[in-house]
A and B are shown apart, each in its own frame.
Chain A
């Protein structure tokens, strides 16, 4: 094992011999093996990301190239992430949860609003600045482990590439860092030279996670990371996410459509519908006492793995309206079982039902 590691290490050094510049980067930039959580003051109110009134519209162009409408994928969303927590974002397909995730880390430019990460408003900086200064701090893992890894690169190259692009570590150290990381996510040293197609879905998802975490980020956006996995593999990956969070003090934005996974993994949860966060609370409170009619519908629709529990299901009428032309007033009023006249007229104000529980619904006004 040791000799194998030495050989591979030497190979890596030779491979990057021409890139001497990278070694001038101070070593302090790469606290790979240290615990970042212990370096920084840990308190519950330590905000890592604050987003205010974020909007993301996709313009729809007509025949002449003029803008004829906007798909309002994210419409006036405010969300705060605290250090070391997992924020669950749940909603059905098309509700804008993935777009929000991508906008928050500037993979997409926000149409309006402010997104502050570590004191820097990323809506004000260019993509280039984002890449050089911020990208290391905010990483993402994707749903589909089959398409999010380059099929022509070996696992080791995929992970090393992240370090090279961000100038992390000396070329001679990178292979060790990668091998360490593989070990931490439960892969073995021999996976270094494998191609993605040689790995199973669960192993690929581990690689995707390793690629995000190797840069030692503050925030990891997890976009449906376990949805494509089998039950037994899913629990392995969820446990890995939890262990890594504990060890490194990571902050997760965990996007999922699966209520039971969200309940298991998140500290706080936001429910999205048609571009809006309609309810947000500490997870236990949200599941014990859902206030928004949409949250109640969602929870009642989730089947329970216990044949003795018979649920009172609230069946929703109709389909999700088009975000190109969302209904006026409360976006949920077209399908809401308890819609009132006022719901058609005004978007409901955000109401604080308890210190940690917000809901946007006229019922509680």
Chain B
């Protein structure tokens, strides 16, 4: 029996805009195992958030968005499900935690109400049951005096506490898959440490799969089992966490790792720089998408797009020169 919770095959999400069709996600495939944390890493505009929201089909403007490919949740293809069935899956089997807890929580309902809502809709609980369960959830995510917090509004809580309420909302129906979209980006480091610890702990306890979307490689190093690095709508490298950090093979991954200042070791005089910036979606280069910024670019990179190739048991790389490029660190 496979323990694969989610499998995404060749996902393409395109948006109709004034400037034509833009493919924000272009042929992304990955999977999440039970009890595993998969990191989805990349800079802004690389399509990591669109990927996660496409899994739940959160973009529902029918004439503006087109999805292609398959999203299999325990074998069921979510892309084929009708809208009303999808509503039973979002929130119940897949839950999501967003970055900005202040705008993601409804300001006119108390925290308790918002957790209860999911329980009443998805689990068919009575109000009383739902309240008990909601308080239990608040306690689970480490909120002190949950009975009191239950009746408070989002603005009365600090950023860290709000993020915990979001996580409590997401986990209340015991989803099989949790998508955490930059859950700690807006928080201070000490609070970030608490929230990440909480996500890891709950992941172990509840054995759910987690997709952690972040731009922070340090957070990935500490929490994820496997990592997929995205660039301009594609996965350019995927591997287990130790391999990504010890032996990155895609020039983009190497560049990212070299350009972060570190707390340990020597301080270099200058930081490594990846030349240029991420191009806009309507200016995607031909051939390999990273070519204009790549120090190893050659003729073939310009003419043909490399495939994501398996180079070891756990490592996949999208680069023509993978045989010639070795750990730059």
User: A: which residues have CB within 8 A of B?
Assistant: 92-93, 200, 202-203, 230-236, 238-239, 242, 257, 259-261, 263-265, 284, 287, 297-309, 311, 313, 315-316, 319-320
Contact of A92 among B188, B221, B245 (CB under 8 A): B188
* B189/A259 in contact, CB under 8 A: yes
Across the interface, which residues of A come within 8 angstroms of B43, CB to CB?
Answer: 230-233
* B262/A260 in contact, CB under 8 A: yes
Interface residues of B in 261-306 (CB under 8 A from A): 261-264, 267, 270-274, 277-278
Across the interface, which residues of B come within 8 angstroms of A304, CB to CB?
Answer: 218, 221-222, 262-264
Q: What mask results when residues 207 to 243 of chain B are scored 1 for a CB within 8 Å of chain A, else 0?
A: 0000000011111111000000000000000000110
| A319 and B245 contact, Cβ closer than 8 Å, known pairs A230-B278, A231-B259, A302-B189 | no
Docked CA distance A308–B244 (Å): 12
* A307/B277 in contact, CB under 8 A: no
Q: Which residue of B lies closest to A297 (CB)?
A: B190
Q: What mask results when residues 251 to 265 of chain B are scored 1 for a CB within 8 Å of chain A, else 0?
A: 000011101111110
| A305 and B189 contact, Cβ closer than 8 Å, known pairs A235-B271, A264-B267 | no
Q: What mask results when residues 170 to 201 of chain B are scored 1 for a CB within 8 Å of chain A, else 0?
A: 00000000000000000011111110110000
* A307/B245 in contact, CB under 8 A: yes
Across the interface, which residues of B come within 8 angstroms of A305, CB to CB?
Answer: 217-218, 220-221, 245, 257, 260, 262
Name 9 A/B residue pairs within 8 A (Cβ), A-sorted. Answer: A200-B277, A202-B277, A230-B278, A233-B277, A234-B259, A235-B261, A300-B193, A305-B262, A308-B245
* B190/A260 in contact, CB under 8 A: no
Across the interface, which residues of B come within 8 angstroms of A303, CB to CB?
Answer: 192-193, 196, 216, 218-219, 221-222
* B270/A242 in contact, CB under 8 A: yes
Contact of B263 among A232, A239, A260, A307 (CB under 8 A): A260
User: B: which residues have CB within 8 A of A?
Assistant: 43-44, 158-161, 188-194, 196-197, 215-222, 241-242, 245, 255-257, 259-264, 267, 270-274, 277-278
Q: Which residue of B lies closest to A92 (CB)?
A: B188
Across the interface, which residues of B come within 8 angstroms of A232, CB to CB?
Answer: 43, 255-256, 259, 273-274, 277-278
Across the interface, which residues of B come within 8 angstroms of A284, CB to CB?
Answer: 267
Q: 4 extra interchain contacts, Cβ-Cβ under 8 A, other than A233-B277, A260-B260, A313-B193?
A: A92-B190, A235-B272, A264-B261, A307-B241
Across the interface, which residues of B come within 8 angstroms of A298, CB to CB?
Answer: 189-190
Query: What distance in Å separates the Cβ of B241 from its nearest Cβ neighbour in chain A?
Result: 5
Q: Which residue of B lies closest to A243 (CB)?
A: B270
* A231/B277 in contact, CB under 8 A: no
* A307/B221 in contact, CB under 8 A: yes
Across the interface, which residues of A come within 8 angstroms of B255, CB to CB?
Answer: 232
* A259/B259 in contact, CB under 8 A: no
Query: What distance in Å separates the Cβ of B251 from its nearest Cβ neighbour in chain A?
Result: 12
Docked CA distance A305–B262 (Å): 7
* B197/A313 in contact, CB under 8 A: yes
| A308 and B242 contact, Cβ closer than 8 Å, known pairs A230-B43, A303-B218, A313-B197 | yes
Across the interface, which residues of A come within 8 angstroms of B262, CB to CB?
Answer: 260, 263, 304-306
